[in-house]
Amino acid sequence: MLKPYEKYQNTEYDWLGLIPLHWQWLYLSQTCTEKKQIKNTGNIEKKVLSLSYGKIVPRKNVDLGLAPKDYSSYQIVDKNDIILRLTDLQNDKKSLRTGLVKERGIITSAYTCLKPFQNAAYLQYLLHSYDTQKVFYGMGGGVRQSIGYKDIRNIRIPFPPREEQDQIVRFLDWKLAKINKLIRAKKKQIALFNEQRQAIINNVVTKGLDSHAKLKESGISGLGSIPSTWSVKPLKYWAKSNLQSLNSSTEADFEFDYLDISSVGFGYVKQEPVHYRFDEAPSRARRVVKYGDTIISTVRTYLRSMCFIDHDIEHCIVSTGFSVLSPIKGTVLPEILSYALSSDYFVNEVIKNSIGVSYPAINNKKLLSLKVALPSTIEEQLQLYNEIKTKTTLLDKGILSIKQQVTTLKEFRTRLISDVVTGKVDVRDIEIPEYEADSDETIDDEIDDNLVLDEEDGEMEVE
């Protein structure tokens, strides 16, 4: 059981409260300086780094997506620098905005880079705690609500003696390694359950329920034989696409929740929708969705961004980088269509028919021409749906339970960091045992910063 310090002093921040009496109460500028940007002229440095969910990690898929022609405009950063993303504070209130550099590399010049005077890891833990408390929000100006070092240099921070900083870092590194290891284990369980769930869906929507049914060749690559009573038709015969969109005459104060491509995984929403006014929203925020639709990304199709629109996200607005597929009433059940579109053969057809090497995309006309095999009658489709629900109910409950456990662990992790770096608990006398250090690989679901491209640049609509 961790205990508090014996004596405390007041601070001027109500949300922070008391800090240990012997700690200093400093301005941020007394603990670090803004590092002058050194451009990667001549592309000397090759390791491209990314701020991903509170960690600075090597950027994955450097050659995919909208990579710049060269990285000469990027800034060079070194081990123990601290990176802050202080842009778009008005719209993005969920992303973690600080990270500690673990190796020399390059990162976008849109980020602020700090050079700490003492223990960099302690200052990063502290800034992370300020970040989770949303301290930086509301400080910016302008439409994009972006700030810089000059705007935060006079933030006050608690600052323990150097020896105590070092002990705090050792303690948190140890505790977080244990917590993160447990989170990884639980996420592996979720991944396993999802694989089992997808295997059930894939089998039912490609083979049907009767193992003795008469078969016929589907004529679809990767699908093979299907029950002879099923129909094979282009997607446009099963669904209509992009039936409703916002237009330029939409009222400026119209408010809505928005999903972009990076917010959607394969069959689920990774990040909560972002709330916007129309006049402040990205220009790609146009597609209207309703319950029963299925959205499929037509850009960066290798990411497999697609999901069914359920009651939690109905009436959202989604990016024009999605095709919004509305099932034709009386022809196909919404859920069955969505299951079919997530089957291996259809997803692979989407990827195979995408054009472009670095930024593969499929136009809507081509998407609607891809063939889908489904039972001809609503009655048989309903049988498939009931079979899938029966076989996946326990898996769904298991996935939900584990996700709730992961959420609890993340909340505990955030609270622990905050309590330790702000002096709510005293860890000076805690003996740190030998332990396996945490890897630099991020364990939290968030797409890389994608070179800090705005969505207007990062998503292209292909016609």
Q: Evaluate whether residue 74 is within a structural domain.
A: yes
Return the minimum-mean-pLDDT range out of 128-132, 197-201, 310-314, 363-367: 310-314
Same domain, 37 and 169: yes
For residues 249-258, average pLDDT: 92
Percent of all residues in the chain with a pLDDT value above 90, rounded to a whole number: 72
Query: What are the tokens at 63?
Result: 């050659």
For residue 441, the model assigns a pLDDT of 57
Question: pTM higher than 0.85, yes or no?
Answer: no
Q: Provide mean pLDDT across the span 76-84.
A: 96
Quick one: 177 and 86 in the same domain?
A: yes
Residue range 218-230: mean pLDDT, rounded:
93
pLDDT on residue 60: 67
Q: Are residues 177 and 241 in the same domain?
A: no
Q: Which letter, b or e, does each residue of 286-314 get, where b requires 16 or more Cβ atoms within 10 Å of its Cβ? A: bbbbeebbbbbbbbbbebbbbbbbeeebe
* Structure token pair of residue 69: 């022609």
Looking at residue 5, what is its pLDDT?
A: 97
**75: CATH:** 3.90.220.20
Tens of pLDDT, residues 410-426: 999 999 999 999 999 99
Is 370 part of any domain?
yes
**pLDDT attached to residue 454:** 34
CA atoms lying within 13 Å on the CB side of residue 337: 29
Query: How large is the average pLDDT for residues 244-270?
Result: 91
Phi, psi of 336 (to 5 degrees): -65, -40
Range of the domain at 151: 8-184+404-458
Residue 112 CA, distance from chain mean position: 22
Residues 327 and 413 occupy one common structural domain: no
- Asked if residue 452 has pLDDT above 50, the reply is no
Whether 392 maps to a domain, the answer reads no
Q: Kindly state whether residues 178 and 286 are assigned to the same domain.
A: no
Tokens 């990162």 — which residue?
Answer: 107
Q: Residues 36, 163: one domain?
A: yes
Q: pLDDT of 266-287, one tens digit each?
A: 998 888 888 888 988 888 999 9
Measured distance CA(127)–CA(136) in Å, rounded: 10
pLDDT in tens, 152-201: 999 999 999 999 999 999 999 999 999 999 999 999 999 999 999 999 99
User: Which residue in 271, 272, 285 sits closest to 319, CA to CA?
Assistant: 285
Q: Among residues 36, 26, 56, which one has the least CA distance to residue 114?
A: 36
**Final residue in a domain of this structure, among 356, 375, 394:** 375
Compare 303 and 172 and report the one with higher pLDDT.
Answer: 172
Residues 368 and 427 in one domain: no
Kind plus residue range of the DSSP H or E element containing 184: helix 162-207
Is pLDDT above 80 for 445? no
Q: Residues 335, 424: one domain? A: no
Model confidence at 264: pLDDT above 80: yes
At 68 the pLDDT is 58
pLDDT at 315: 85
Q: Confirm whether 22 is domain-assigned.
A: yes
Is residue 65 very low, low, confident or very high in pLDDT (cuts 50, 70, 90)? Answer: very low
Same domain, 168 and 239: no
pLDDT in the model for residue 450: 34
Domain annotation covers residue 219: no
Same domain, 340 and 414: no
Q: Could you tell me if 309 and 411 lie in one domain?
A: no
What total of structural domains would you count in the chain? 2
Q: Is the pLDDT of residue 367 over 70?
A: yes
Q: What pLDDT band is residue 136 in, cutting at 50, 70 and 90?
A: confident
Whether 220 shows a pLDDT value over 80: the answer reads yes
Clarify whether residues 170 and 291 are in a common domain.
no
Please spell the DSSP secondary structure of 354-390, one letter per residue.
-B-SSS-B--HHHHHHSEEEEESSHHHHHHHHHHHHH
Mean residue pLDDT of the chain comes to: 89
Residue 92 within any structural domain of the chain: yes
Q: Give pLDDT tens digits for 343-353.
A: 999 999 999 99
- Higher-pLDDT residue of 123 and 140 is 123
Please report whether residue 196 resides in a domain.
no
Local confidence band at 444 (pLDDT 50, 70, 90 cut-offs): low
Is residue 432 domain-resident? yes
pLDDT at 15 over 60: yes
Q: Given a cut of 50, is residue 112 above it in pLDDT?
A: yes
Question: Using 50, 70 and 90 to split pLDDT, how confident is the model at 62?
Answer: low
Q: pLDDT band for position 438 (50/70/90)?
A: confident
Confidence (pLDDT) at 189: 96
At residue 446, the pLDDT reads: 41
Quickly state the pLDDT bin for 442 (edges 50, 70, 90): low
Residue-level pLDDT at 190: 93
Q: In this predicted structure, what is the pLDDT of residue 39?
A: 93
255-259 and 317-319 as β-strands: parallel, antiparallel, unpaired? parallel
Strand-strand pairing, 230-234 and 225-227: unpaired
